Structure 1
Amino acid sequence: MLDRLDHALRTRPDRPAVLAATRTGAPRVRATRGELAELADAYAAALHARGLRAGDTVGVAVRPGPRALAVLLALWRLGLRGAVLDPGAGPEVLRARLALARPSLVLADATAQAVAGWARPLARRARLALPDLGELGPVATVGRRLPGCAPRLDATAPRLGVPVPGADHGDGDAVIVFTSGTTDRPRAVVHTRASLAAGMGTVSSLFGARPDEPVLGGTFFVLVPSLAHGAPVALPARSPKVLARQLHRLRPQGTYLTPPQLRDALRAGAAFTGRVWTGSAPASAELLTRVRRAGAAEAWGVYALTELFPAAAVEEREKAAFDGAGDLVGAPLPGVEAKPDEHGELLLAGPAARHRYLGDDPDPWVRTGDRAHLDGTGRIVLEGRCKDMVLRRAENIYPGLYEPALQVPGVELAVLVGVPAGDGDERLVAVVQPQHGAGERELRSALSGPLRRMGTARPDALLFADIPLSGRSRKPDRAATAQLATARLATAGLATAPRTAARTDGPA
């Protein structure tokens, strides 16, 4: 698919490729197809001139958009492995991930570097945090360079006499995406060139984008197949009001938004056209029905994981007609195998499945962490998650990453749990059991730093309570703790209140 995209960009270089929205929602061309191809060529030449070769790892901290897509194409062409670095993960987590991935170079835009430098106080307000810039290792700036940033990746100087290899590098590693684990043992999904291409091919067959008709969506799995088929892609506006105007003006043939984005857009009065797709978080039949009533010809829920994207899909009418127990997410997509294990956990396999976790042996079966069964027609019906993962606003939060940081002096136990927030979403709650004699005011002060450094995983509420224990080992009972937190928040009227910002001063 990436090879096809590279060819497609060069055949119609003057056509728009990536669009953005003005405040009125009017489309603005961010990059033409030819500009994307030229930028990818320049990045590939610059990386090759720096001595990077097939199999090397490059860290990527670049905001989604034309530059990030050009970086992906350059890495693909050179056979390099890209490690996705998220500024929202917090400095301790990022240090552990960098130590595991060991990138030869980190490509970062000015925004990501500012998070680690002069803009650190502003970044904290946005729940972004990086280690100090010097801890990232060799860094090159992609795009505009601001004061204090690393030197730019020289994508403008001529590279005469430095031949750049083609894109045929077999089936080596293509991308590393960190998902879970702890700061002692981060967990990272490794996709090969074949699995990445297979996933994009599946998305392409699902979307069926038509040339020259815009598509709205910001992920690589939307950008790459759509552009390869000749369709321009509009990046969704962040403001729900502007997004509603953008949808009205653009009238896209297809739209991909997360469930939180859909809910925000609907509240802003958005009208939809064509087919609408949503994933990354549970999408209820009620939400899909609201999207169809707002004008969409079809509204689809996509079941996918970082380890296998996409796995299944279901349209609103089929989902609304399902009256069985559980959450119908649809039939496995072509090439995807699905089966529950002896404990009811859903296992998936297929060409688009990740090759392995970094540092582990390959395994063809992906453990989803979801309890599920297959109905009489082979459709996947979810019954709840097996893992402790909390899913908040389309973001996976793994408690094991952050709970150790909450063990400050005066804390007996601390766990992070998810409580229902309506329409499949969850609130993240830190439940802290003080040591005998410890004052809550002092503990709030001691916990303020660790909570701030959690970045986008910062809890919505902080509760002080005795944590229920279970089993012979008397481990914290997460299910019972979640029930306790749900009851306490409900008593305070916060259980299903809409969130506008993370709260860390909830009821004690």
Structure 2
Amino acid sequence: MTLSYASGISAVPLLGETIGANLDRTVAAFADRDALVERASGRRWTYDRFADDVDAVALGLHGLGVAKGDRVGIWSPNCAEWMLVQYATAKLGAILVNINPAYRVHELEFVLNQAGIRTLVATPAFKTSDYAAMVEEVAPRCPALADVLLIGTGGWDALLAAGRAGDRGVLAGIGAGLSADDPINIQYTSGTTGFPKGATLSHHNILNNGFFVGELCGYDEEDRVCVPVPFYHCFGMVMGNLAATSHGACVVIPAPAFDPGATLEAVAAERCTSLYGVPTMFIAMLNEPSLDGLDLSGLRTGIMAGSPCPVEVMKQVIERLGMTEVAICYGMTETSPVSTQTRAGDSLDRRVSTVGTVHPHLEVKVVDPATGVTVPRGTPGEFCTRGYSVMLGYWDEPAKTAEAIDAARWMRTGDLAVMDEHGYLTITGRIKDMVIRGGENVYPREIEEFLYTHPDIVDAQVIGVPDEKYGEELMAWVRLRDGADALTAEALREFCAGRLAHFKIPRYVHVVDEFPMTVTGKVRKVQMRAEAVDILGLGDTAADRHT
């Protein structure tokens, strides 16, 4: 019997340096090559110019008194300044705190105080969000907050001017006192109940994870990586920015927030070789009217991650976008984030139906959720990971850290997985999303994959809702292709009949234009379940189940 355990063997060693030192090495090797392109403004940076601006921001922050260990918040959609602040804080040893652009006053105040943010960099406004006004409202209630810098205003310009006039030798001295194991980043996990927790990550955590994501994507200085996913999350700032800069590749920012047309235009205009996105982003791009008229022949690879990747969508990404080497990555914020990844040499079947194998220098296992004992291969259980990527802990919350990371430093993910005989892993859902219908364990992911084969369904999510007879019943939320006829529950049941076990066939169907989502592209099933109770009039049943 082979157990569901695997370790990532690699001939390429881990990087033992800080993010700042790694950037300096890249600049020395590729000074004249493109480092960053911001499509919205038309601005471009070579590595040489990028390094100069990073140093200017770092020295400007240093002049304000920002020092090693201080928390610097960044609250903005994707822009060049976000990336400059990311690397500038790393050079100072300050801890960058990523603030979700969707946050409002209550959440902003919580993060500013929970992390003890000293300096906040923010965009003044974006779309309907008046960031400056919200900061002004909460600032009196945030005693640690000393400085607020609004991008594009006089304060930001003054910071840059002061930094450009500063002594670069100061940064060299600061760098000499930094360790790769120092905390460098706090990312707040998307809390579905209560307040989010701040996953605290080191240089070693995120630099290596970004580097090995890039290694497995085959990056070098010729690559141009289109990053429409948010920088505030690991997908953008680690798998995007750090993967690129650790290989001398170029980051292309297609727009401040995801726009399918702008993303595809950026890929074509900048001859991007790699494109990132969560499944819903790729679905939007595949349905973009301008797609067929664009030359995307430069695309070679990319990453689909953030939530389970539908098989049919993955196949279309390979066929219609030409991303023949596209990878699936699996991970979580607390693990920097990637734990497994498909490889370019993997068969199409493995790249569309698994999340790949263990990442270099990491360990993974699948355990019985109740006992923690590693299960045999082919047996479902909870996915756990261990290694350099596991966070230092939740900021200022040792009890919650101990709940997530055991004494042997294994991170328990809360995800259900199966490891096959060759070490490939399939994520079958969240433990908390599993539906128990009349004593049968039902995994929504299996049903969702089947629903994608319906000719009119472009996206599907399955949840459990309260039921007096069975305890829980299945409800499918679906998005339909343009022009499709209305889909009834009866019609969907007919489609499933004889192809799914009777207890896996959804009783209810709800057609939507979009799903409730986090900014990182994860579907909020907790919110869907709450809304479903109202939609179906199941309030009394739901109340009975909780008494």
TM-score normalized with structure 1 length: 0.70
1:140 counterpart = 2:148: yes
The match for 1:105 is: 119
1:152 to partner: Cα distance: 6.0
1:152–1:247 Cα change, 3 Å: closer
1:76 to partner: Cα distance: 0.8
The match for 2:542 is: none
1:182 to partner: Cα distance: 7.0
Q: Conserved in 2, the CA contact under 8 Å of 1:107 and 1:141?
A: yes
Residues 66-101 of structure 1 show CA distances to partners (whole Å, capped at 9, x for unaligned) of: 211211111111111111111313332332222221
Comparing 104-113 with 206-215, which one deviates more in the overlay? 104-113
1:342 counterpart = 2:368: yes
Matching residue's letter, 1:231 = A
Pick the aligned partner of 1:267 from 269, 287, 290: 287
Comparing 244-253 with 78-87, which one deviates more in the overlay? 244-253
The match for 2:214 is: 204
Residues 117-151 of structure 1 show CA distances to partners (whole Å, capped at 9, x for unaligned) of: 6778xxxxxxxx996455553342253118xxx77
Distance in structure 2 (CA, Å) of the matches to 1:153 and 1:214: 32
What pairs up with 1:93-242 in 2 under 5 angstroms? 93-111=107-125, 115-116=129-130, 132=138, 134-135=140-141, 137-145=145-153, 154-157=159-162, 158-159=165-166, 163-164=170-171, 165-168=173-176, 169-170=178-179, 171-181=181-191, 185-218=195-228, 219-220=236-237, 221-237=239-255, 238-242=258-262
SS of equivalent residue, structure 2 residue 342: strand
Pick the aligned partner of 2:71 from 37, 57, 60: 57
Identity level (%): 20
Distance in structure 1 (CA, Å) of the matches to 2:85 and 2:76: 9
The match for 2:429 is: 384
Unaligned runs of 5+ in 2: 1-17, 229-235, 370-380, 435-443, 453-457, 479-486, 491-507, 518-527, 538-547
TM-score normalized with structure 2 length: 0.66
Comparing 8-17 with 306-315, which one deviates more in the overlay? 8-17
1:29 to partner: Cα distance: 4.2
Matching residue's letter, 2:161 = T
Distance in structure 2 (CA, Å) of the matches to 1:14 and 1:383: 46
Distance in structure 1 (CA, Å) of the matches to 2:193 and 2:64: 31
1:130–1:48 Cα change, 3 Å: closer
The match for 1:495 is: 510
Distance in structure 1 (CA, Å) of the matches to 2:261 and 2:110: 38
1:130–1:251 Cα change, 3 Å: farther
The match for 2:504 is: none
1:345 to partner: Cα distance: 1.4
Matching residue's letter, 1:216 = C
Unaligned runs of 5+ in 1: 121-128, 390-416, 432-465, 472-476
1:377–1:468 Cα change, 3 Å: same
Q: Conserved in 2, the CA contact under 8 Å of 1:329 and 1:380?
A: yes
The match for 1:85 is: 99
The match for 1:32 is: 46
The match for 2:304 is: 278
SS of equivalent residue, structure 2 residue 205: helix
Residues 310-331 of structure 1 show CA distances to partners (whole Å, capped at 9, x for unaligned) of: 11122599575369xx952111
1:213 to partner: Cα distance: 3.9
Q: Conserved in 2, the CA contact under 8 Å of 1:277 and 1:302?
A: yes
Matching residue's letter, 1:381 = T
Q: Conserved in 1, the CA contact under 8 Å of 2:279 and 2:309?
A: yes
Distance in structure 2 (CA, Å) of the matches to 1:253 and 1:212: 9
1:380 to partner: Cα distance: 1.4
Count of aligned positions = 421
Pick the aligned partner of 2:330 from 285, 303, 314: 303
The match for 1:9 is: 27
Distance in structure 2 (CA, Å) of the matches to 1:97 and 1:387: 26
SS of equivalent residue, structure 1 residue 156: helix
1:426 to partner: Cα distance: 6.0
